[in-house]
Structures are given as C-alpha cells and as structure tokens.
Amino acid sequence: MTRKRVVVIEGEDAAPEAVRPALAVIDALGLPIEWLHPPVGQAGIERTGSPFPEEARRAIDTADATLFGATSGKSALALFYLRWGKGTYANVRPVRHFPGARSPLARPEGIDLVIVRENLEDLYVAAEGDLADLAPLGLRSLTAGRPVHELGPGRFALKVITEAGTRRVARFAFELARRRRAHGRPGRVTCGTKHNMLPRSDGMFREVAQAVAAEHPDVPFQSLIVDDLAHRLVATPHDFDVVLLPNLYGDVLSDAAAALVGGLGLAPSGCFGDGAAYFEPAHGTAPDLAGKNAINPTATLLSAAMLLEHLGFADAAARLEAAVAAVYAEGRVLTPDQGGTATTTQFCEAVAHALG
Ligand code: IPM
Ligand code: MG
C-alpha cells in the first residue's frame, strides 16, 4: 500500500494536548502514514520569524491531507490557507450520539446527522467597511426604506453568496446523502436559509439547492427557514440526515448541534475541496484547559477517523470509531466534560486498548 503523507498542525493552548496522544492512537493502527510537522504558529515564529512559513505551505501543498488542532490566533494563517488557499468549500460536521456521552436531551440515542457547511463564502469573505463608503452606491435598505449610508455612522459587513459556490457545496451534500443511504441512513437533505428576509442572497442559495435537488430526484429534499431549522434541530434531531447551510449558519448551528450529543469535545469536522482536504475538531483551543491534560480528545480522534477514511483506510477508520464508541459505552474512562476524571492521555490509552 502506498505511503500517505499527512501534515500535522497542532495549534494553540490545549489543542496540542489532544493532537499528540491522538496521533499515538493512530500509530497503534500500524498504517503506512508519515506525519509531517512543519513549523507553524509559535514554532514557525521561533524557527523562521513567520507563523506560516513557505516550508509549511509547501508541506500542505504536497501532502495527501492535513490534520489541524485548533487555533486561537498564531496558527490562523495556516487555517486560512487550508480553507481559502486550498479551496476546501465543503465543511462536513457529523453530529452523532455515542451512548454514554453526556447529552442534555432525554433521548439522544440514535441522533446521527451531518451538517454540510459552505466553507468559503457568506460573511466569511470578511469584507467590512464604513457605511459612508456605500454612499456612492446609493444602495437602499428594503426595511428602513432609505439609503444604507444614511443609517450611520456605522459599519457594514458583506454577505456574499455565489451561484457556483453554492452549486458545488449543494452537490457535495446530495452526493453525501446518497452515500449515507447506501449505509442504511435515510439519505435526505435539509437546506436552511433566511430566504424570507434575504430573497436575493439566501434566496439564491435556496434556489440553487432546489435545482441541485432536481438533479438528484432519488434524494428527498426539504428547505426550511433557518430559525425554524434551529428549533427543529433541538426539538426533533432524529428527523435530520444531511443539513446543508451557508457558512455562518453552519458555524453557529454546528456548535449548537454538538451540544445535543455531548458537546464540542465530541464534534469532528472534515473540509473538502477539489484537490485538498483537511480535518479538525470543530472546537476552539480551550485555553482554560491548557496544560491540564484534561481536554477531551474525542473530536480530534473522530476527525482523524474522517482523515483515515479520506486516505482510503476505511476499515481502520471504522475500527477507530468503534473503539471510541466502546470507551463511551463502558463509561469508566471519560474526561471531566463528560463527568469523568480521566486525563486526555488516559482516554486515548483506553481507546488504543479498545482497538485491541
Ligand atoms: C470553526 C471556527 C472558525 C470559524 C473560527 C476559528 C474562525 O469557529 O471552525 O467553526 O468560524 O469557522
Ligand atoms: Mg465555529
């Protein structure tokens, strides 16, 4: 089997404490994977004077994938490169309940949905300015009934939705729904937008999703207003399979949905583009846990399982997920966020042990 090369970017605060023992767990699987550790963030600054040196960029460009911890700033340039530089437009965030994980719901068993978040557009084009800059455009607020620049002094942020950007992520979501159906899941897509207030931007996202739905007549499709979707995600999470969202709603709702199944400590993600993919827990760097060996590494382990699947090691990915599930089911070695007293490394050792 050909050797795979994976860049590892540990990130800041407590994130490296989850990444390092997670790599040890993967190593125990005995796969032909070479980990590359280019200097990024603080290490990059110390070694080269830059938090994201050319060497790190080249490593990402030539590797098969990247595993990212989490960043509170110093590794942000690397994260931006992994998203916008590599065009990873589909952010896949599984929300699955493992029996034994702490949920605020009475019956979380069986929750198994995936958020597909558009990863590059929307408010994340991060183009902001002063309202006064808009005066030459004479752009009118539909609700206020007068030019936007007259609403200030103040600021604006642009929400940008493109047809091509929406079509590719919508197609990704429908293809994922088909693959899930092949594995016994319902295989349907729910799209969430605020098309009632934003008929041109969110409205177009919805129309493109509807057009892509027509290309996939075998995949049931539903379009909801995003606040209704938010309510239903909490009230009836079992009804959902693949949830397609523009970037910011996807960011917000993926954290909310994670809370249903045990919290951010269990929420993995994988970001996919045409020629690139990277994997990272959906959570931040947990600075309050830094240096305590207490961060829950499950999100990192499950992100690594998505990485393994992407690299073609599907059996190993399934084994890793089953081992994580076994540790939760047994309930003896859990981290403090799950009501346990285990350290991060003890949890990872329990997972390695469950791998057999
Ligand atoms: C996430 C994070 C990022 C985002 C931050 C770190 C920029 O919250 O991956 O969900 O907003 O996308
Ligand atoms: Mg987020």
Q: Region 103-117: what's the mean pLDDT?
A: 97
> For residue 163, what pLDDT is reported?
98
- The pTM of the full predicted model, rounded to 2 decimals, is 0.97
Q: Tell me, in angstroms, the distance from the centre of ligand 2 to residue 164's CA.
A: 24
CB count in 10 Å sphere of residue 289: 21
The dihedral over CA atoms of 129, 131, 136, 138, expressed in degrees to the nearest 10, equals 130
- In tens, the pLDDT along 273-324 reads 999 999 999 999 999 999 999 999 999 999 999 999 999 999 999 999 999 9
Atom 9 in ligand 1: residue holding the nearest Cα: 282
Tell me the best of 77, 249, 251, 254 to mutate to test the pocket of ligand 1, counting ligand atoms within 8 Å of each CB and taking the most.
251
The residue assigned the tokens 């897509």 is: 189
Catalytic residue among 124, 249, 278, 328: 124
**CA 167 → CA 117, 172, 176, 245, distances in Å?**
13, 8, 14, 12
Where do the structural domains in the chain lie, given as residue ranges? 1-105+263-356, 112-122+160-260, 126-158
Query: Is 241 close to ligand 1, i.e. is its CB under 6 Å away?
Result: no
Return the structure tokens found at 53: 């040196």
Rounded-to-integer distance, Cα 89 and Cα 322, Å: 28
Q: Which helix (H) or strand (E) holds 314?
A: helix 314-330
One-letter amino acid at 98 equals F
What is the sign of the dihedral through the CA atoms of 163, 165, 169 and 171?
A: positive
Rounded-to-integer distance, Cα 95 and Cα 302, Å: 11
Q: Looking at domain 1-105+263-356, which of 3.40.718.10, 1.25.40.10, 3.10.310.30, 3.40.710.10 is its CATH number?
A: 3.40.718.10
Strand partners, 245: 117
Active site residue 86: no
Active site residue 27: no
Active site residue 133: no
Query: Is 251 close to ligand 1, i.e. is its CB under 6 Å away?
Result: yes
Q: Tell me, in angstroms, the distance from the centre of ligand 2 to residue 281's CA.
A: 10
Return the structure tokens found at 172: 């990704």
**pLDDT tier, 356 (very low <50, low <70, confident <90, very high otherwise):** confident
